[in-house]
Structure 1
Amino acid sequence: MKNQEEHHHNHNHEDTMSHSDHKENHGDHHAHMIEDFKKRFWVSMVITLPIVVMAPMIQEILGYEFGFEGDRYIQFVLSTIVFFYGGWPFLKGLVDELKDKSPGMMTLIALAISVAYFYSSGVVFGLEGKIFFWELVSLIDIMLLGHWIEMKSVMGASNALQELAKMMPSEAHRIKKNGDIEDVNVRELRGDDLILVKPGEKIPADGEIKEGESHLNESMLTGESKPVAKKAGDEVIGGSINDNGSLKILVKHTGEDSYLSKVINMVKEAQKTNSKTQNLANRAAGWLFYIALSAGFVTFFVWYSLGKEFEYSLERMVTVMIISCPHALGLAVPLVVAISTAVSAKKGLLIRNRTAFENARLLSYIIFDKTGTLTKGAFGVTRFASTNEDYDKNEILKIAASLENNSEHPIAVGVLKKARELEMKLDEPNDFQNITGKGITGKLNGESISVVSPGYLKENQLTTPEGAFKDESETVIFILKDHTVLGYIALADEIREESQEAIETLKSHQIKVIMATGDNEKVAKTVSESLKLDGYHAEVLPEDKQKIIKELQDKGEFVAMTGDGVNDAPALAQANVGIAVGSGTDVAAETADIVLVNSNPKDIANLILFGTATYKKIMQNLFWAAGYNIIAVPLAAGVLAPIGIILSPAVGAVLMSLSTVIVAVNAQLLKKQMK
């Protein structure tokens, strides 16, 4: 990682943008390919209809007669259009696969359609034999449909880098030497520039505060759930959100040297290593290619050496090669993928990487981020008390909520939520003011009230009430009238109700559950003990999360990571299965293999069950598709010819259709299983 950082040290922020542009282009290219397959499918389908009507074999099967002089030439012309237009992606794929020395689905399809086309064309122009034009065009149609369905269901090529780059604001307020402020593009910022960041704005670059105090929300970058108080001399991270104070910041890192860009590089590296999983159906197709080729040539030589004429031996060979490419194999995976993707989406699981989804059955470890995943990522009131006999505890909460009513601070949101739950009628404050980094003050019913941090009590030599600090995972605020403490309210990032059930379900599947969080040791320990986790890592940086996963993978474990922040993006990409919680940042969702739309950890148990069911269905379908070959190929070759059984192309076509129907029906059964 270090070398990589040094290597990129001199690049500017434009590189980050170009990564995102590249990803965007990749997405456009993918969408264009889907449209291309769709168009080729419909055009080929329309041309197929007259070919099927004129096909002698179809007439034989359905018992009708339709022919005229020169009908073979019309079939030849129409089939030529379908072969070169509809079959083009497969012919091109054949060249690519043979260049890579890895024949697969494209090679198998191209072999079958080429043999069918050139043999049938030969028959039209004088060769003795049968024409296979309708098998040729129906095979192209089904394979185009299969690829179109497949590409649609896995669309959504990762936009992670684009989403990361989007986290940076596009403009910054740069302070000139004479004190004037100019708005410049973030790309123009250089080290040692002085910038102004107003309340509510994003920090445009890594740097150090020179003037001002504020709270920064870094939760989407570091995982720290509390807004962090920052003052002069403190470091800040580009992309974090400034809360309530104006800051003057000296820029330290820009472009490739920034924290965000380092995260981008980690995501890129992890994604590269993750995209090497091979498609199972493609491997099966690779084997079938060799089988088809061998079986075809063996069939020809056996029949020819047994004294059969050249034309008959060639027809047998062609029949074997066409039958060896099952329509069912082209649909076996895409149909299951399309159904499981649709059903899972209804259940709140968005599948972006189907290989990872199917591999969910292999999980041995799952790593949870804490903030916003196991916990709600929002402060909730855990307890509140009065320390003044003139006020009961509900009055303390009402006073604090009335004063906090004008604040957007996460602590204020937590206090107001509790007041609403208790249906309190709030008073209207006057003279509302921020005490930067320490709390708020104002007038309520003519009295001077403040809601402050423990630091404020210390600074003003006020005694901290007994029992205020019980749990180190809590944040405590104090309510003052003039300079008298009336009471306190304790808040904490609440654990989700669903987390306990989710963890129990995962453990029942023999999956170990650990937590990795940017939050402090005490908070992590409290959550871990409360949920009975198998372990936890606290105060971790993004590269640490990635490292934890890598170490487990090196030991042979199959690891899933669940998270919602930018800090989780590299780990989500590194994991065997990356699961993003939908309420988090777009970037976590874009880096993950699966997104939990409802942010419910319980859905992870469903994910494992669905993934297992999907994998089983794919295996069954591949078995049916291959099983058809095991029966049809020897029969087409004429293994049972001595006892008078030889597979005619017509029966081969029926068997081919039957295996396709079985595969389609079996895929539909997945809907019932996943209810």
Structure 2
Amino acid sequence: MLALAVPVVGFNEMFAHLLGYHLPDAEWVWWVSPVLGTVIYAWGGWPFLTGALSEVRSRKPGMMLLIGLAITVAFVASWGATLHLIDHELNFWWELALLVVIMLLGHWIEMRSLAQTTSALDSLAALLPDEAEKIDGGQVVKVAPADLAVGDLVIVRPGSAVPADGRIVDGSASMDESMVTGESKTVRRQVGDSVVAGTVATDSGLRVEVTATGEDTALAGIQKLVSDAQASSSRAQRIADVAAAWLFWFALGAAAITAVVWSVLGLPDTAVVRTITVLVIACPHALGLAIPLVVSIATERAARGGVLIKDRLALESMRTVDAVLFDKTGTLTKGEPTVTGIEPVGGRTDDEVLALAAAAEADSEHPLARAIIGAAKERNLDVPSARDFSSSPAVGVKATVGGTVVEVGGPYLLEQRHLGELPVAEQWRSEGAIILHVLADGEVIGALRLADEIRPESRDAVDALHAAGAQVVMITGDAQAVADTVAAELGIDRVFAGVRPEDKAAKVAELQGEGRKVAMVGDGVNDAPALAQADVGIAIGAGTDVAIGSAGVILASSDPRSVLSVIDLSRASYRKMKQNLWWAAGYNLISVPLAAGVLAPIGFVLPMSIGAILMSASTVVVALNAQLLRRLDLRPETSTGTFLNRTVPNHPTSADRGTTEIRKDTVSP
């Protein structure tokens, strides 16, 4: 198009006169601008003309109709001057050529900016390998990931990406899961663990059984969320659409007034020039780009940082949140018991008590047993082997370890042996901890304190939310003592304890009744009503599908500090929206009167070509300003969990699960 515009401008008599050079004295020179100008109008102006027609049909006038009017008036006037039907000074071929070229340039910049925002989807799709190595009848065959089926066994070599969601059946590897969680640190995965399509085995190979393919994979879920969010509307977008419609009528009215005033003054030629300039400079291109580009970039930026926006309104509302309500288990805590204290007696050491307890619990599958065994592994203890293992519901476990009968249990075990609790037990119980005593040959040798371990990053999240001016509230089905202990350690402002699952939404409404804007953060099925009730529902990505379906924002990691990322993104996006709206609308309010010629009495007249340049310049400014959002870093320092990991069980509190699943040997009579 630029190649056609150069001869149109260069061989135009008005432009030559303006710059003071002479054109060849040949008849064909006279027809270069009209012929090529017509091609430019029909070809280069086609996107704007069809867009204008579409706006007329939908009865939603906007920027395309303004552009179409401007270039059509310039085209008709230029042909009129060329055929000597009107004054020759209304020959606008060179202005028309520059106008269309500049418009297309601005349109190209707009499309390029929008294309960059959708590159997140393309880059997510590119995470899948081109082919997968499937084990078929003992042979390794290469197939496309799309051809895999649930139950297939695939090989993932070191440095390669997982072709589909699956479960590791052989091997272990450090997995790069940054594309899902936003965490740069690798996570160790081993036999039995789930892996997500697109994650990379960095150091060793794996054999993976496929559990989900195609649209059922976590990666496809992320793509759909990003796509839906970018396609959804928002309050700010509706404001921008209304503003663009009003601007159309403003520009049309200004153009009509301009034409009438200049005609009344006896300058009909100037009236045409000024009217066209008003129509050109008032094109709300920048206004149409102001909001969609900001939200698209914000959505894409969030996805790369492990924050998935399902609903643009949720992102928009997050900046006004002044109370963040956290579900305790699985959000502020890890959702599983951990050994948090050891009290040895009888000359025993912490390590001796823990090693004997781990030996006795070695054959148990109970969560408390896994916690004890895990604590021994963390301390690198030499756990002796045990035999004659037995387990008694509501009592505990018993095993023989090197000739010593070791028992681990709660109050019922002590009651059967006519033994008393250690003095520290009362203090631990007041803090809401689970207490197990360890016996050796019928004598108490120590006690273990178990509790739901608080995430190390939770304190940072609470402190940061306080610094951001938000009240932090915790809600849980656990007893008041347990809740108060966690709240005191984290510095939480308010606690709702002993809340039944069906009553959580009512607590959210209670906060809203106090005039607060509430963000609810949860991960369980019982959190879904509360997530839906909150002004902004935020689901932890490792949680259940029901919770995720009820939330407007999903954190791909289980790091509560990611809530701050959402607030930062919301506030930064809102700032950019305001800046772009003020620039786009303010530019038009100032430039339209100049284009109409209000300063003509003092000798200033804005040329139509300069008007086109200014219009496109406003689009460039808006686009560049929105691009600054890409500098926002949303990744938390640490992250755990995987997005939509459906094979990982949820870990609700004991109160949420019901007492039937509580280990009976920990309950006082």
For normalisation by structure 1, the TM-score amounts to 0.63
1:124-182 CA-to-partner distances (Å, cap 9, x unmatched) read 76586534544554455455556656677899xxxxxxxxxxxxxxxxxxxxxxxxxxx
Structure 1 residues without counterparts, runs of 5 or longer:
1-47, 156-270
From 428, 431, 450, the equivalent of 1:471 is 428
Is the counterpart of residue 403 in structure 1 residue 360 in structure 2? yes
Aligned to 2:558, what secondary structure does the other structure show? coil
Spell out the pairing of 1:201-240 with structure 2 (5 A cutoff): none
Conserved? CA contact 1:51–1:133, under 8 Å: no
Specify which of 603, 616, 632 is matched with residue 591 of structure 2: 632
Larger mean Cα displacement after TM superposition, 543-552 or 339-348? 339-348
Corresponding residue for residue 659 of structure 1? 618
* Residue 528 (structure 2) pairs with residue 569 (structure 1): yes
Contact 1:610–1:674, Cα closer than 8 Å, also in 2: no
Deviation at 1:627, TM superposition (A): 2.8
Residues 135-144 or 551-560, more deviating:
135-144
Query: What is the CA distance between 1:55 and its match in structure 2?
Result: 5.8
Pairing 1:355-434 to 2, within 5 Å after superposition = 355-387=313-345, 389=346, 391-434=348-391
How far off its partner does 1:292 sit?
2.0
Partner of 1:558: 517
Is the 1:54–1:75 Cα contact (8 Å) retained in structure 2?
A: no
1:514 to 461, 467, 473: 473
Aligned AA (2:336): A
Give runs of aligned pairs for residues 122-521 of structure 1, distance below 5 A: 122-123=76-77, 126=80, 130=92, 131=96, 132-134=99-101, 137-138=104-105, 140-142=107-109, 144-145=111-112, 277-279=235-237, 280-309=239-268, 313-341=271-299, 344=302, 348-387=306-345, 389=346, 391-436=348-393, 439-458=396-415, 460=416, 462-467=418-423, 468-472=425-429, 473-481=432-440, 485-521=444-480
1:112 aligns to 2:112 (yes or no): no
Cα 1:81–1:454 shift into 2, 3 Å: farther
2: CA distance, partners of 1:406 / 1:109: 72
CA contact (8 A) 1:57 1:650 kept: no
Work out whether residues 517 and 538 of structure 1, in 8 Å CA contact, stay in contact via their aligned partners in 2: yes
SS at match of 2:559: coil
Does the 8 A contact of 2:67 with 2:283 survive in 1?
A: no
Q: CA deviation at 1:563?
A: 1.9
One-letter code of the match for 2:66? A
1:70 corresponds in structure 2 to: 35
Residue number in structure 2 paired with 1:529 = 488
Is the 2:361–2:369 Cα contact (8 Å) retained in structure 1? yes
SS at match of 1:562: strand
AA aligned opposite 2:540: V
1:602-648 CA-to-partner distances (Å, cap 9, x unmatched) read: 34345434433332232222222223212321111222223332222
Would the alpha carbon gap of residues 540 and 669 (structure 1) be closer, same or farther in structure 2, given more than 3 Å must change?
same
Residue matched to 1:604: 563
Looking at structure 1, the residues matched to 547 and 8 of structure 2 have their Cα atoms a distance apart, in angstroms, of 54
| Partner SS for 2:528 | helix
Cα drift, residue 415 of structure 1: 1.5
Is the deviation greater in 464-473 or in 337-346? 337-346
Letter in 2 for 1:523: V
Deviations 1:240-259 (A, max 9, x none): xxxxxxxxxxxxxxxxxxxx
1:244 is matched with: none
| Matches of 1:633 and 1:397, distance apart in 2 | 80
Q: Counterpart of 1:568 in 2: which secondary structure? A: helix
Shift of 1:567: 2.3
Q: Which amino acid aligns with 2:409?
A: V
SS of match in other structure, 2:560: coil
- 1:12-50 superposed Cα distances (whole Å, 9 cap, x missing partner): xxxxxxxxxxxxxxxxxxxxxxxxxxxxxxxxxxxx566
Residues 83 and 140 in structure 1, CA contact (< 8 A), matched pair in contact too: no
- 1:20-39 equivalences in 2 (<5 Å): none
Deviates more, 1:651-660 or 1:567-576: 567-576
Residue 489 of structure 1 and its aligned partner are, at CA, apart by: 1.4
Report the alpha carbon displacement of residue 386 of structure 1 after superposing the two structures with TM. 3.6
| Aligned residue identity for 1:72 | G
Amino acid at match of 2:73: Y
For 1:587-602, list aligned pairs within 5 A: 587-602=546-561
CA RMSD of aligned residues (A): 4.0
Measured in 1, the distance between the counterparts of 2:356 and 2:5 equals 81
In 1: Cα distance, 2:547 partner to 2:397 partner: 34
Cα distance change on mapping 1:302 and 1:416 into 2, 3 Å: farther
Question: What letter corresponds to residue 370 of structure 1 in structure 2?
Answer: K
Deviation at 1:422, TM superposition (A): 1.8
For the 8 Å contact 2:287–2:581, the answer to whether it is kept is: yes
1:418 CA drift (Å): 1.9
Q: One-letter code of the match for 1:466?
A: L
Counterpart of 1:545?
504
Cα distance in 2 for partners of 1:154, 1:647 equals 44
Return closer, same or farther for 1:144/1:598 CA change in 2, 3 Å cut-off: same
Please state how far the C-alpha of 1:51 moved relative to its aligned partner: 6.0
Separation in 2 of the partners of 1:151 and 1:110?
23
Q: Secondary structure at the match of 1:471?
A: helix
Aligned residue number for residue 222 of structure 2? none
Aligned-pair identity in percent equals 39
TM-score scaled by structure 2? Answer: 0.64
Residue 617 (str. 1) matches residue 573 (str. 2): no
Distance 1:647 1:299 in 2: 13
CA shift, 1:350, in A, is 4.1
- Check the 8 A contact 2:48/2:64 in 1, yes or no: no
In the TM superposition, residue 57 of structure 1 has moved relative to its aligned partner by 9.3
What secondary structure is seen at the aligned counterpart in 2 of 1:497? coil
Q: CA deviation at 1:431?
A: 4.7
**Does structure 2 retain, via aligned residues, the 8 Å contact 1:469–1:476?**
no
Q: What amino acid is aligned across from residue 351 of structure 2 in structure 1? A: N
* Code of the aligned partner of 1:512: Q
Change (3 A) 1:287 1:68: closer
1:504 Cα deviation from its structure 2 partner: 2.9
Per the alignment, do residues 662 and 110 of structure 1 end up closer, same or farther by CA in structure 2, a change over 3 Å counting? closer
**Aligned-partner Cα distance in 1 for 2:520–2:633:** 23
1:585 to 541, 544, 556: 544
**Structure 2: gaps (5+ residues):** 24-28, 123-228, 635-669
Q: Shift of the alpha carbon at 1:58?
A: 12
8 Å contact 1:146–1:334 — kept in the other structure? no
C-alpha distance in 2 between matches for 1:141 and 1:557? 44
AA of the residue aligned to 2:65:
L
Q: Residue 83 and residue 339 in structure 1: after superposition, are their counterparts in 2 closer, same or farther (change >3 A)?
A: closer
Equivalent pair of 2:282/2:592 in contact (CA under 8 Å):
yes
